[in-house]
A and B are shown apart, each in its own frame.
Chain A
Amino acid sequence: MSAYVQEIGALTMRWVRRLSREKFSLVFTLVQPMLFWLIFFGNLFQRTADAQVVQAPNYISFLVAGVVVMTVLNNGLAGGVDLLFDKENGFLERLLSTPIHRTSVVLSRFLFVMTITCLQILVILGVAALFGVRPATGFLGVAVILFIGMLFGVGLTAISMAIAFSVKSHGDFFSALGFLSLPLIFLSSALVPLAAMPAWMSMLARFNPMTWAIDAIRPLILSGWAEALPRLGMVVAIMVVFDAFCLYGSARAFRRTIG
């Protein structure tokens, strides 16, 4: 057990070290592009968006939940890319020739991605507070937001790793990523509530796990526990199924690569 902790700790520290070595990437990871959605998109559409339609005091407060989950999405989907580089340059092989548990490399990546995602969510909520958006459910609500983010993030990171282990080159990886991420955002309740969408889009959006995560986080920010609780139950159930599915696929891809 202590051996397991030692190796996972060391592998996780490697990701932290890498990030801290790239000063730019460190800054841009924490203050990352998703903030632009909140700051620019949120303010840009302030007057265009109808408060009646978005069911929120203003558009930016509506958008916070979407930006939080978009951050989880982007981080999760990009989460496997470093393993892909490790696979390509042989570092993964070096790691696997040591007497570590086969899951340690993957677990360290999960730990790292989840930690970074939590920090980013906190930054986003902080910036939102500057624009006057404060979660109605307080600190406990923030903890629950992080928890939902993690639940969704685990599945996404697993998908990303599965792609990383399956593709032949990182060109393929980024193509697959670009292809996945925008439709997932547009076909969700991140930017517009389901009720305001064209019927076919809202129909598709209902099958997007992102929608469920956003619709659970949004009342935590806008209204309060009474409205949030039933949605929380729903999102946990959906995410458990989603994660199980993703982890299974990722484990298969991993085993195929590792042999």
Chain B
Amino acid sequence: MEVVGRTVAIEASGLGKVYDGVTAIDGLSFQVFAGEIFGLLGPNGAGKSTTLRILITILRPTAGHATVLGHDVVREADRVRHLIGYVPQERAIDRFLTGREHLLLLGDLYHLPKSETRKRIAEILKLVDLEEQADRPARTYSGGMKRKLDLACGLLPNPKILFLDEPTLGLDVQSRLRIWDYVRRLREQGITIVMTTNYLDEADRLCDRLAIIDGGRIKALGSPSELKAGLGGDIISLTVGASETACVDRLASELKGLPSIRAISTKQTGLDIRVESPEKALPVVLEAANRAACRLEFIDYHRPRLDDVFVALTGHAIREEFPKAEEP
């Protein structure tokens, strides 16, 4: 299958899953191209993991269908399982086994001859830098080491496609960067990567293309730069004084409908204003603030970031519990 010169590795069309009457995902259609890092980005409960589990054949869709390298994930599940590797979200590790024993076990589950398993284990342990700890029981591993072992397990079958479920969830910054580095190296070796994430910076910096998922539906599909460009214009962020939060709404209604303003989203302590050109819009915005008798504490403008895209598409931030200012 060729689409503008690119090989399609995964094709999902109209995928739906209903659990006990609750719709987890609803009519997802997308393609993943061979050799790219494809991200499913969305908040917790958006349906990312459900989508991933269908693609790796451990959940059956209740609607639609999907193929992985041309094989149907339901009818040819066994074929698909031979071609993929999976790195689950939880630290799916048996604390009593050593790292090497995990890999030996998987070698048998993929029906590899012992010699082949041993050869691959040596290579993979080197790649994820876990050679020294390979013969220690996994219960002595740090979080980062467990993640490396997880990754090693996913790589053991020598997969054409590697599925990663929230690969850096809960990791410290260094471990995160290292995992990103491994993932990029895998892409260089020609492995297609499909990953879920709810980190905007991870999606932005690591993924070649993204599907933004919210409420079980795809809101947008494209490369991070396409998505940001699609939003158009720049963002002016205003922060009002702490005692003046009441004027945020007043200011918003002053700005609404003015020619150089594209969209406005209000936060507790200020406003994000999407504009065509900040040079033209800034005087207008300041004038409006004056009229609304709003004392501004802080003004800042920037190119759209993925979090701006996310808010624009879904109407809410990806993680409500964090104040937006803390997003990198």
Contacts and interface: CB of A to CB of B under 8 A. Distances in A.
- Most chain A CB within a 10 A radius of its CB, from B104, B110, B111: B111
B88 A93 contact: yes
Nearest to A13: B105
B86 A97 contact: yes
Contacts of A10: 104-105, 108-109
Contacts of A258: 58
B27 interface: no
B125 to A, nearest CB: 18
Contacts of B86: 93-94, 97
Interface stretch (B92-100, B208-216, B230-238): B92-100
Contacts of B93: 89, 91
Contacts of A94: 86, 88, 92, 153
Contacts of A3: 111
A132 B96 CA distance: 40
Chain A contact surface mostly: helix
Interface string B63-106: 00000000000000010011010101111111011000100111
A166 to B, nearest CB: 13
A91 B92 contact: yes
A259 B153 CA distance: 23
Contacts of B105: 10-11, 13-14
B157 interface: yes
B111 A97 contact: no
Given A6-B108, A90-B92, A97-B86, A21 B137 contact: yes
B100 to A, nearest CB: 12
Given A14-B105, A21-B137, A258-B58, A99 B110 contact: yes
B90 A14 contact: no
A98 interface: yes
Interface string A52-85: 0000000000000000000000000000000000
6 contacts: A21-B96, A89-B91, A91-B93, A93-B86, A99-B110, A259-B58
Interface of B: 53, 56-60, 78, 81-82, 84, 86, 88-94, 96-97, 101, 104-106, 108-111, 137, 153, 157
Interface of A: 3, 6-7, 9-11, 13-14, 17-18, 21-22, 89-91, 93-100, 258-259
